[in-house]
């Protein structure tokens, strides 16, 4: 190792993208979690400090998403180093913006960089998924993969993992509203059930294919028509106050498609320019304010870079 410490940021992500439940997601430029790993004279991995979490995250390295990912890397290499981890949470818990995935990715990416990159990003993916599994209680990479690789990702298969990187239109803007309420991913998954009607499945598959076609052909109108969800949205909408009213406000303000980000409560909408994107955000915020709920509005192009070394 050439350095005694490293600091990394990993971005918030939008998963599912309407029709792509557990198989599609993209990285944003809106906010990022930050993780610092420093060499220590005391053997073993420990958490020195966690900030921005409201004292909610565990200091147990086996049950913290970030350090679990780091441990997975170290165990694979059969290393027992003295390391201290500092975690700065910027992405809200239960926000639908890939908070746990960002911490897991930041941890796995940081230790890999500190050790001189013994693993490729593709190999790091499984270590990050190990960390993410703690929070979601399920194996899915629609937040982890875009966070790690950047860009827009389609997950063709989980066994073995097979990712397809899609190049989105350059003028594709994403508006995100984050109502300041929390929805736990594990709880949001429980309400979905284990089966879907064939009719809903056929509609979902058609939209997934059309969304991919829209991205590849740089057709934002087709992308917008394809951001439909027959599986999660009908059930998760009840968890977000005035969800359909917020969605209609976005569409009436010029959005090319609108849906729930991940498990919610964050909601995303696509558009063709930055000015429209901000107008969409203002319209969405006006609706949620009827419930006396605070919210944050973000506008971003798709982040092509993923995690970054910042110190």
**Contact of 88 with 33, CB cutoff 8 Å:** yes
CA 89/CA 280 separation, integer angstroms: 27
Burial degree of 203 (CB within 10 A; 0-12, 13-18, 19+): middle
- Residue found under tokens 């980000």: 261
Active site residue 13: no
Q: Cβ(16)–Cβ(30) under 8 Å?
A: no
Tell me the Ramachandran region of residue 266: left when phi exceeds 0, alpha when psi lies from -120 to 50, beta otherwise. beta
Helix axes 99-114, 121-136, angle to 10 degrees: 140
In which residue are the tokens 């558009």 written?
A: 271
> b/e map of 55-76 (b: 16 or more CB within 10 Å)?
eebeeebeebbbbbbbbbbbee
CA distance 242 to 230: 19
Q: Which residues make Cβ contacts (< 8 Å) with residue 140, sequence separation at least 6?
A: 15, 22, 129, 132, 158
34 a catalytic residue: no
Cα separation, 15 vs 218, in Å, equals 20
Q: Does residue 149 have a cis bond before it (omega within 30 degrees)? A: no
Catalytic residue among 34, 84, 130, 132: 132
Contact 297, 190 (CB under 8 A): no
DSSP state of 302: B
Q: Which of 185, 230, 233, 276 is catalytic?
A: 185
Side-chain-side CA neighbours of 171 within 13 Å: the count stands at: 10
Residue in the structure block whose two tokens are 């010029």: 254
The residues annotated with a catalytic role in the active site are: 132, 185
């Amino acid at each position: 190792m050439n350095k005694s410490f490293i600091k990394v940021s990993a971005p918030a992500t939008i998963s599912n993208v309407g029709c792509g439940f557990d198989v599609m997601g993209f990285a944003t430029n809106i906010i990022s979690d930050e993780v610092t790993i420093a060499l220590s004279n005391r053997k073993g991995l420990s958490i020195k400090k966690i900030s921005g979490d409201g004292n909610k995250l565990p200091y147990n390295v086996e049950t913290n998403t970030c350090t679990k990912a780091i441990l997975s890397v170290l165990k694979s290499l059969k290393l027992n180093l003295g390391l201290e981890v500092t975690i700065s949470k910027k992405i809200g818990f239960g926000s639908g913006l890939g908070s746990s995935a960002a911490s897991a990715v930041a941890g796995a990416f940081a230790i890999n960089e500190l050790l001189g990159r013994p693993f490729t990003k593709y190999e790091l993916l499984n270590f990050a998924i190990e960390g993410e599994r703690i929070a979601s209680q399920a194996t899915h990479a629609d937040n982890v993969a875009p966070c790690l690789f950047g860009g827009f990702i389609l997950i063709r298969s989980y066994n073995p993992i097979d990712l397809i990187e899609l190049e989105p239109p350059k003028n594709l803007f994403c508006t995100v509203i984050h109502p300041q309420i929390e929805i736990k991913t594990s709880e949001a998954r429980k309400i979905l059930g284990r089966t879907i009607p064939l009719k809903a499945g056929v509609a979902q598959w058609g939209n997934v294919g059309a969304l991919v076609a829209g991205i590849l052909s740089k057709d934002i109108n087709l992308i917008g028509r394809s951001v439909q969800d027959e599986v999660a949205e009908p059930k998760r909408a009840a968890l977000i106050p005035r969800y359909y009213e917020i969605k209609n406000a976005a569409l009436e303000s010029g959005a090319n498609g609108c849906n729930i980000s991940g498990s919610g409560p964050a909601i995303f909408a696509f558009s063709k320019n930055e000015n429209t994107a901000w107008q969409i955000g203002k319209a969405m915020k006006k609706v949620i304010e009827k419930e006396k709920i605070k919210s944050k509005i973000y506008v971003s192009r798709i982040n092509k870079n993923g995690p970054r070394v910042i110190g």
